[in-house]
Structure 1
Amino acid sequence: MRLPGDYKRFADAYGPGDFADFISICHPHGYTEYSNLTGRMPGIIREYLQQDYDQGKAPVPCHPRHLFSMGGIGNGEKLFWITDPLDAPDTWRIAGSEDRGLRWFTFDGTLTEFLVSVLSGETAVPQVPDELLEEPVEFASSVPGPWVSVNVKTRPPVNTESIREWGRAHGYDVPFRGRVPLVVLEAWERAHPL
């Protein structure tokens, strides 16, 4: 599926992350299945919408096959592209829903126009609290920090025969072959701390 040009520029410029710790936009290189635009979550969300649509449980602004989940607001609300027409991604509009899908809104514009309008306070969205804009809006990248080496104490290899002998000397019933019972291993480790 082709993606809107403004989204491609946005994804290149910002990468994965959140605005005001409240509005998240999925990214092709998202670090969790919930933030990965090309992962399985958009399809799963569409299936749930389709089930609700078929059962008449939740209103949607268009047929679920035209909704592609590409972000979230707050605690479970979803942002979608309305992908109609599919072959004209630069004309796609934005839709959003509550966590349970009962209240929807639509925005006649691109994703970046939506973000600018909402984060500047020009457009009020029911799922975005007024106090969100009381502080300066910042973008926080969700790129993981650099890998840091941690010193982990590891036990050098121990001959299981010596553990068996220790166990017998301390009154444990230890078989001569097979697995050393867990209770014996735990007792031996307590007696021989790192």
Structure 2
Amino acid sequence: MTSLAALTALCMPPAVVPPAPDWSQIEDTLGMPLPQDYKDLITTYGPGQFGGFITLCQPYVPSEWADLTGPMPARLRQQIEEVRQAARDPWQLPQSPENLFAMGVTGNGDYLFWVTQPADSPDRWIVAVNEALRASWFAYNGSVTEFLVSVLSGTTSVPMFPADLLDHTPAFIPSTLESSTPAAAARTSVSTRAIRAWANANGYDLPERGRIPSEIIDAWKRENPS
């Protein structure tokens, strides 16, 4: 059984999905090839959330925080390095920043990356999970589809994921990319996490939970223009 077949057995794809994107054009835009399993995954499921927790980035979507082809992957590499260097005891990255390409996010603001080595063999890329721009990393030696199957079946436990992730039967929740959809809520969560990480790295006393003061949001926007 292929990893995609195993995933569809766990999480039924929606009956209707958007037309498959032009992957050649997307790869030209990115300047790199993409793993075939990811392309098959997006073509099969379209936009949405796995297990009510994991959202994969998509090409050419309105939200910059979910846009695989936008500035988000490069911005996250920069932010991770800024947060790391600002720490009292800078922590080690599992890979050089240039080898990390963001391709997913969780409901807690954790990020999923491809480790893009070897650069010309995307089907050999593995998955790295970062805990919301902090020091904690988890590496999975397999594709993103294999990662989803392993996590959603309970075979792999990611330390930064919630303990109750599998309390309910895994499912795929499809979404449109309009502002009133779950995708927009996921975008807001990611953006909030990024603002908190930036604020803490820049000397603001900001608690982990609760409302972010408007002056901090304004300062973040000035430093991170769209």
Q: TM-score, normalised by structure 1?
A: 0.70
Three-state SS of the structure 2 residue aligned to 1:72 is strand
Alignment-derived partner of residue 152 in structure 2:
119
Equivalent position amino acid for 2:157 in 1: A
Residues 1:53 and 1:63: Cα distance change in structure 2 (over 3 Å)? farther
Q: Distance in 2 between matches of 1:142 and 1:68?
A: 24
**Contact conserved, 1:58 with 1:101, CA < 8 A, in 2?**
no
Count, aligned residues: 146
Which residue is equivalent to 1:69? 102
The aligned amino acid for 1:124 is S
- Correspondence for 1:107: 140
In structure 2, C-alpha distance between the alignment counterparts of 1:105 and 1:11, rounded to whole Å = 23
Map 1:1-194 onto structure 2 (within 5 A): 1-52=32-83, 57-144=90-177
What is the root-mean-square deviation of aligned Cα atoms in Å? 1.9
Q: CA deviation at 1:39?
A: 1.2
Do 2:79 and 2:133's aligned partners in 1 also have CA atoms closer than 8 Å?
no
Q: Which has the higher helix share?
A: 2
TM-score (norm 2): 0.60
Unmatched runs of 5 consecutive residues or more in structure 2: 1-31, 179-226
1:33 offset after TM fit, Å? 1.1
Identity %: 43
Q: Rg larger in 1 or in 2?
A: 1
Is there any run of 5+ residues in structure 1 with no aligned partner, and where? Answer: 146-194
